Structure 1
Amino acid sequence: MNAKTFGSGRAVFRGIGQIMLQPNGWTGALFLAGIAYGSYLAGIAALLAVLTGTLTAKLLNYDQAETEQGLYGFSAALVGVALTFYFKPVPVIWLAIIAGAAIATVIQHALIQKKLPGFTFPFILVSWSMLYLFHHVYVVPDSLAMTTVFPDSDELTTPARGFGEVIFQGSEIAGIIFFLAVFISRPVAALYGAVAALLSAFISIRFGEPAQDIHMGLFSFNAVLCAITFAEERPAGGFFVLFAVILSVLIEIMMLKMNYAVLTFPFVAASWITLTLQKLLPTKWEK
């Protein structure tokens, strides 16, 4: 294996790791293992999509350093997993995974060029479009995952499932793998994420949301992403994590009441607002 091939492989795994903002190849490899544990089809889709995203970036001559950091892989990978989660894996879905991954990569590049914090917004745009297309224009049957009912669980499994649901995995085993994957890359982010999963569950309970959905981590995964994004050693980091987590839960509850497909939009919206708040606060918060 030459250096170029090794670099491309590292970019692929970093792309998967960047789903939770970790430019770490080992983290990405564990994420892929966790996805495949929950569904081998989702694992194949994630790999196909991240390869497509990375190849698209290379073919369009996007910045090599950005590509190697996996910045053009994570939204693509999420598109792949999302489409196999929502729909039966018929041939048109596999074509949509390739097309959607390429489109997400182009959108990601446009945001990077404008120096805008896109996070997973390209994945959201592509997935919303695909959900509309395959539900209303060219109808594709729902996947079995959409009708699977998982056994009820307790508060002890909620943090694990909060991590798992970031990548559409309802298994606590997959969630534990994801937590460990983040921990080996950035321990403080993993720990903040676990606390955020519990806090978001508590907030959801106070708003009377369904207990099973809460225990499944459906109200926690956006909070986990917010916590990972703003986690840092300084005390100010804790404030911004708390603000973003609470905001993400409130946005998610509002979207669900309006029957919108949530995906990771609460995380993105809460992060945008939190970043704006960081810029508006006095400079003493930076110390």
Structure 2
Amino acid sequence: MSLQLRDSFGAVFGRMLLRGIGQIYLLPSAGAGAVLLAAVAWQSWTMAGACLLGALTGTVWGMAAGDAVGSRAGLDGYNGALTGLGVMIVLPADLLAWSLVAPLACLATWGAHAWRRRCSVPPYTAPFVLITWLLMAAATGLDLPRAVATVTVDPGWGGPIQGLLRGVGQVMFLDDPRAGTLCLLGLALGTPWAALSAALSAGLCLLVAGLAGFPTDAALLGLYGFNAVLAAEALRTIRPGAWIWPCLGALLSLGLMRGFQLLELPSLTAPFLLATWGVRQVALRRSTQARTV
């Protein structure tokens, strides 16, 4: 009996952990989370380990804080998972970086938990963004060694296809289009609508960036798509069938991303946050006005 209970708890905890990774793309799906983790491992085992450690830290913190609902849905894992990835793109994977993953993931999870309790607006990835920005500033101020950017993999596919797939994968700092393909498969496993939304929003921003004359190298690296992927997914659920809001959020995130580039500031997922919060408020206000007419 005790062995059965332990196995049951292990299975439940494993699903909670994987849902936390799935929630990076706003999907409370353990299956999606497993494929997304595999996508990170495809590109870098180090990043996969940091992602898993961050999600584990956040999930355990949520359980210890009594946030059973948030932990079961994966809401206590995704900011921690992203923070783990963020540490590894700022610092080299040495003792200092690994020692920072758990405490910073814990801080990100606490921030998201406090935000959800006090604000009606979802925090999304805001805690991860704020903590990673602080880490970047500290690394610069203390003159710490910085992580070396990985060499972009070119599987020989068409440039626009690579740009689209990288746009999906760059949500988790993945610039290998094959890892992006796995991310898209993971989204489809969670719900086919999420995969369709991600592909369309990344493709839309790639097209608009080309027409607007944005730097081609950044476009083909997926840097104009990943914020749009998140914005479209967040806004897709406000009013099913009303695609104007996801499209508007995707395009607004594209403009904001270009603004961050021109200012030479690290954007992370800040364009997604600003675009989604703004469009969400407009959409909800319009919906409220329509019901009162």
TM-score using structure 1 length: 0.93
CA distance in 2: counterparts of 1:124 and 1:284, whole angstroms: 33
Residue type matched to 1:266 in 2? P
- Partners of 2:167 and 2:226 lie apart in 1 by 5
Q: C-alpha separation between the residues in 1 aligned to 2:152 and 2:181? A: 20
Q: Which residue of 2 aligns with 1:91?
A: 95
Deviation, structure 1 residue 73: 0.5
Match of 2:115 in 1: 111
Q: Report the CA distance between 1:285 and its aligned residue.
A: 6.4
Give the equivalent residue in structure 2 for 1:229: 234
Residue 36 (1) aligns with residue 64 (2): no
Q: CA deviation at 1:216?
A: 1.2
- Which of 192, 196, 199 pairs up with 1:187? 192
Q: Distance in 1 between matches of 2:206 and 2:129?
A: 23
Counterpart residue type for residue 48 of structure 1:
L
The CA RMSD over aligned residues, in Å, is 1.8
Determine the C-alpha separation between the residues in 1 that align with 2:194 and 2:93: 34
Indicate whether 1:4 and 2:9 are aligned.
yes
CA deviation digits over 1:63-90, x for unaligned, max 9? 2011111101101101111221232111
Question: How far has the Cα of 1:158 moved from its partner?
Answer: 2.0
- State how far apart, in whole Å, the 2-side matches of 1:226 and 1:67 are: 23
Aligned to 1:210: 215
Separation of aligned partners in 2, 1:133 and 1:59: 29
Gap regions ≥5 residues in structure 2: 1-5
| Contact 1:75–1:105 (Cα < 8 Å) also in 2 | yes
Q: 2 CA distance for matches of 1:138 and 1:158?
A: 33
Distance 2:287 2:90 in 1: 44
What's the counterpart of residue 278 of structure 1? Answer: 283
Rate the CA distance shift 1:2–1:159 in 2: closer, same or farther, 3 A: same
Structure 1 residue 76 corresponds to structure 2 residue 77 = no
Shift of 1:282: 4.6
Report the TM-score when normalising by structure 2.
0.91
Distance in 1 (CA, whole Å) between partners of 2:240 and 2:18 is 29
Provide the aligned length of Structure 1 versus Structure 2: 282
Report the more deviating stretch, 64-73 or 202-211: 202-211
Give the secondary structure class of the aligned counterpart of 1:252. Answer: helix
- On the 8 A contact 1:188/1:231 being kept in 2, the answer is no
- 8 Å Cα contact 1:76-1:100 kept in structure 2: yes
Q: Which moved more, 1:149-158 or 1:268-277?
A: 149-158
1:252 paired to 2:257: yes
